[in-house]
């Protein structure tokens, strides 16, 4: 029986991934861990999920009613507690670690030095505790370490972005240090830790550099009203497309920063979850493997147009406005990025951004009436 430890089990990607593993036909022993910080952060800045999410206790109670082939359990634990994490790994002895835990908001990390330092400690110490525990327990050659970082570590270079490495003559140069926020720098740090942990100790690393993720649900989250996933559309934790969709439903203007011609990479939540689920079957290869986890790049202006074109007879009028850009960025950048490795793991054609946006709109309207 394969043992899987999944961190960030209560998160936006972590929860539907945990559910997919639980409902799978494989023989798995799944242990989810989280410290529920995301719930605390959104409360702190008054940015609650627009879809009601239930407590982990309620979720697991409902999950236990299903006749599943897999064992599952959950523990509340803080990844920054090195002693507890090491003991957890020692006792559970995972074959796979799905490391999905992080403080994921760039605006939140940019708010103050306190939040910047917190984000750095939360994200980087958690990763280091996992990697060093594997080394100290002599698990480094036995465990597949699968993690989500972000395509944001690449910044916006004026060349096609490869999956992790830039080849210069016979040298493969890791590229992951041009993030545009303190949050993105923490993920760049993680990438550097992964590269070094593989180089020094031979840990098999599978780094999924996740794009801007759209959608609210998966097949598994729709099985039960207690399985709903979070939806954030605020400034701090909401992504641009989610904010646009929510505003269109409310009848509020869609606000585009500057020209809005800059392209960004996007992925449907379903594709993110399915590829992570498939990744547990990747071979233990003692390499640092990188996957650009995205389906397509689309300009911010075109995201707004897609939403406007989805308007039907009962929808409110959709107004698109361009406002001064508060960010320092190239407003006409044409993001070109490769994802061949990712597509091999996904094993099917990914959803289009227009499909992800349509699904998001439908889910919001159905859940909120």
Q: Report, as an integer, the average pLDDT of 221-236.
A: 94
Tokens representing residue 330 in the block: 């190239």
Largest CA distance in the chain: 62
Q: What is the pTM of this model?
A: 0.96
Is it the case that residue 157 has pLDDT exceeding 80?
A: yes
First to last CA, the chain: 43
pLDDT at 368: 61
Question: Please, which residues have CB within 8 angstroms of residue 355's CB and are 6 or more apart in sequence?
Answer: 268
Host H or E run for residue 209 = strand 204-210
Which among 96, 98, 212 is positioned nearest to 147, based on CA atoms? Answer: 98
Report the DSSP beta bridge partners of residue 103: none
Q: Over the chain, what is the mean pLDDT?
A: 94
pLDDT at 335: 93
Show the DSSP H helices in the chain as ranges.
Answer: 14-23, 37-44, 56-63, 82-92, 106-109, 113-120, 126-136, 182-201, 240-250, 269-279, 300-309, 340-346, 353-368
| Residue 369 pLDDT class (50, 70, 90 cuts) | low
Give me the architecture of the 2-230+266-293+334-350 domain, per CATH.
3-Layer(aba) Sandwich (3.40)
| Residue 331 pLDDT class (50, 70, 90 cuts) | confident
pLDDT at 141: 97
50-to-227, 317, 362 alpha-carbon distances in Å:
15, 21, 14
Domain limits, the chain: 2-230+266-293+334-350
Is it the case that residue 152 has pLDDT exceeding 80?
A: yes
The sign of the CA dihedral 324, 325, 330, 333 is negative
Q: How far apart are CA 180 and CA 317, in angstroms?
A: 34
Report the DSSP beta bridge partners of residue 257: 323
**33 close to 75: Cβ distance less than 8 angstroms:** yes
Is it the case that residue 320 has pLDDT exceeding 90?
A: yes
Sequence-separated contacts (24+) of 111-114 with Cβ below 8 Å: 111/236
| Residue 43 pLDDT class (50, 70, 90 cuts) | confident
Is it the case that residue 314 has pLDDT exceeding 70?
A: no
Q: Report, as an integer, the average pLDDT of 19-37.
A: 96
Per-residue pLDDT tens digits for 193-208: 999 999 999 999 999 9
pLDDT at 169: 86
Q: Report, as an integer, the average pLDDT of 328-336.
A: 87
Q: How far apart are CA 178 and CA 64, in angstroms?
A: 44
Q: How far apart are CA 306 and CA 340, in angstroms?
A: 26
| Residue 88 pLDDT class (50, 70, 90 cuts) | very high
Is it the case that residue 304 has pLDDT exceeding 60?
A: yes
Q: How far apart are CA 316 and CA 301, in angstroms?
A: 20
pLDDT at 178: 84
Question: Please, which residues have CB within 8 angstroms of residue 169's CB and are 6 or more apart in sequence?
Answer: none
Tokens representing residue 108 in the block: 């939140």
């Amino acid at each position: 029986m394969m043992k899987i430890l999944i961190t960030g089990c209560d998160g936006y990607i972590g929860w539907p991934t945990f559910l997919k593993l639980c409902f799978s036909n494989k023989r798995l022993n799944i242990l989810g861990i989280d410290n529920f910080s995301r719930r605390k952060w959104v409360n702190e800045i008054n940015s609650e999920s627009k879809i009601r999410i239930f407590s982990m206790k309620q979720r697991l109670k409902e999950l236990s009613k299903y006749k599943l082939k897999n064992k599952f359990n959950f523990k509340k634990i803080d990844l920054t507690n090195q002693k507890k994490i090491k003991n957890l790994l020692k006792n559970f002895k995972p074959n796979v670690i799905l490391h999905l835990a992080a403080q994921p908001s760039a605006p939140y990390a940019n708010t103050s030095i306190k939040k910047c330092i917190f984000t750095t400690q939360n994200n980087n110490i958690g990763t280091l505790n996992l990697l060093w525990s594997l080394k100290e327990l002599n698990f480094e050659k036995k465990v597949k370490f699968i993690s989500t970082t972000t395509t944001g570590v690449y910044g916006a270079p004026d060349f096609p972005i490869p999956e992790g490495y830039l080849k210069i003559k016979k040298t493969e140069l890791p590229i992951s240090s041009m993030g545009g926020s303190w949050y993105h720098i923490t993920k760049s740090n993680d990438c550097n830790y992964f590269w070094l942990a593989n180089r020094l100790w031979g840990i098999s690393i599978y780094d999924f550099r996740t794009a801007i993720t759209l959608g609210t649900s998966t097949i598994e989250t729709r099985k039960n009203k207690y399985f709903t996933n979070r939806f954030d559309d605020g400034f701090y934790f909401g992504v641009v497309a989610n904010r646009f969709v929510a505003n269109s439903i409310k009848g509020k203007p869609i606000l585009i920063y500057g020209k809005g011609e800059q392209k960004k990479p996007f992925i449907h939540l379903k594709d993110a979850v399915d590829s992570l689920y498939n990744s547990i079957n990747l071979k233990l290869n003692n390499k640092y493997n990188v996957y650009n986890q995205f389906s397509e790049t689309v300009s911010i202006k075109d995201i707004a147009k897609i939403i406007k074109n989805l308007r039907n007879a009962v929808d409110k009028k959709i107004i698109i406005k361009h406002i001064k850009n508060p960010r320092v960025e190239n407003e006409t950048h044409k993001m070109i990025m490769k994802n061949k490795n990712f597509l091999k793991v996904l094993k099917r054609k990914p959803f289009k951004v227009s499909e992800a946006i349509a699904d998001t709109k439908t889910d919001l309207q159905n859940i909120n009436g």
